[in-house]
Amino acid sequence: MAILVTGGAGYIGSHTCIELLNSGFEIVVVDNFSNSKPKALETIKELTGKSFGFYEADICDKAALQRIFAENNITEVIHFAGYKAVAESVQFPLKYYHNNVYGTSVLLEVMSEYKCKKLVFSSSATVYGIPESVPVTEDFPLSAINPYGRTKLIIEEMCTDLYGSEDDWNITLLRYFNPVGAHESGKLGEDPNGIPNNLMPIILKVATRKIPELSVYGNDYPTPDGTCIRDYIHVVDLAKGHIAALKHMKSGVHTYNLGTGKGYSVLEIIETFKRVNNIDVPYRIADRRAGDAAECWSVPVKAEQELGWKAKLGIEKMCEDAWTFAQSKS
């Protein structure tokens, strides 16, 4: 018996693979390296001392997925594979709908064909759009405001419809807030292909002098320092959330926020990074970006009550581990 991890060479997927292997699970990984690197798989083996099955394949390739299921006794799936850059999704929406939505529909078809009906899905807080208030609970209205967020929302609805037609499915939807940090060894972290889109990878680019400065998009929001506030969660805490979800799977479709329940502004993140790591991060104030919410942070109480999971690592540890990883690469 094994757990199939789609996108297992990616940032969150690779850290989750480590936690799965360290918890005694057998895994099979599928990844096409569109936004990941083969080296991550070797690092997982190095850090855990364990091996696992791997297939280089695309989730849109039904025949490839059928082969994976035919060759392995897959009992559960953790589904990370998907494009995730908001700006790129606005520029290339069909690319996102094809890969994220169609790819997931293919995966679900193959899972159903092989009677594998336990799924943990990597969703996102983007499904809340611009929340009318904070903090955000799982029963808030859903209103994604960009193609990336809409693909996550469509997949959530797809899962709900699927359970409505086949009530033997066990589906857990995990809505992530903002994952940052890296494995404490410094050997595994966020290493996107191409230009990074998220705050921490850009901070790391500036800190390692690969780009001259960071753009802070807007300082006139109705927040204490005028910059946007988000809920940042250490990627290792996030990975452990998937283990908790696997151990508490039950019939139906169940949704959980995975965050810390605390909000930090862009400037707070920058200043914390500078203080913890004793390094300068030059930045400039730029115009607001369209669609950015002033505040978005979570209420993760449901995950604590039902899954027994709670984030334990603070913002200082997130900044410290991210910098350790960046230094190991430079």
pLDDT at residue number 132: 87
pLDDT at residue number 192: 73
pLDDT at residue number 329: 74
Whether residue 238 contacts residue 15, with contact meaning beta carbons closer than 8 Å, is answered with yes
Q: pLDDT tens, 116-127?
A: 999 999 999 999
CB atoms within 10 A of CB 134: 18
Q: pLDDT tens, 234-243?
A: 999 999 999 9
In a domain, 80, yes or no: yes
What average pLDDT does the segment 200-210 reach? Answer: 93
Q: What is residue 121's three-state secondary structure?
A: strand
Q: pLDDT tens, 283-314?
A: 999 999 877 889 999 999 999 999 999 999 99
Which of 126, 14, 19 shows the shortest CA–CA distance to 81?
14
Q: Is the pLDDT of residue 144 over 70?
A: yes
Whether residue 307 contacts residue 245, with contact meaning beta carbons closer than 8 Å, is answered with yes
In a domain, 79, yes or no: yes
Q: Is the pLDDT of residue 330 over 80?
A: no
pLDDT band with cut points at 50, 70 and 90 for residue 194: low
pLDDT band with cut points at 50, 70 and 90 for residue 250: very high
Whether residue 278 contacts residue 327, with contact meaning beta carbons closer than 8 Å, is answered with no
In a domain, 224, yes or no: no
CATH of the domain at 122: 3.40.50.720
In a domain, 164, yes or no: yes
Q: Is the pLDDT of residue 195 over 70?
A: no
Determine the longest span between alpha carbons in the chain, in angstroms.
56
In a domain, 196, yes or no: no
What does the CA dihedral 25, 52, 60, 112 come to, rounded to 10 degrees?
-40
What is the domain count for the chain?
A: 1
Q: For residue 6, what is the enclosing H or E element? A: strand 2-6
Residue found by looking up tokens 């193959």 in the block: 110
Which of 84, 13, 4 shows the shortest CA–CA distance to 235?
13
What does the CA dihedral 261, 265, 270, 275 come to, rounded to 10 degrees?
-60
In a domain, 94, yes or no: yes
Q: State whether the Cα torsion 108-113-114-118 is positive or negative.
A: positive
Whether residue 25 contacts residue 52, with contact meaning beta carbons closer than 8 Å, is answered with no
Note the pTM of the prediction, 2 decimals: 0.96
User: Helix %, strand %, coil % for the chain, to 5?
Assistant: 40, 20, 40
Residue 146 domain boundaries: 2-180+232-259
| Residues noted as catalytic | 148
Q: Is the pLDDT of residue 159 over 90?
A: yes
pLDDT at residue number 191: 80
Mean pLDDT of the chain: 95
Counting DSSP H helices and E strands in the chain, the numbers are: 12, 14
C-alpha span between 127 and 177 (Å, rounded): 11
Q: State whether the Cα torsion 81-101-131-85 is positive or negative.
A: positive
In a domain, 305, yes or no: no
In a domain, 293, yes or no: no
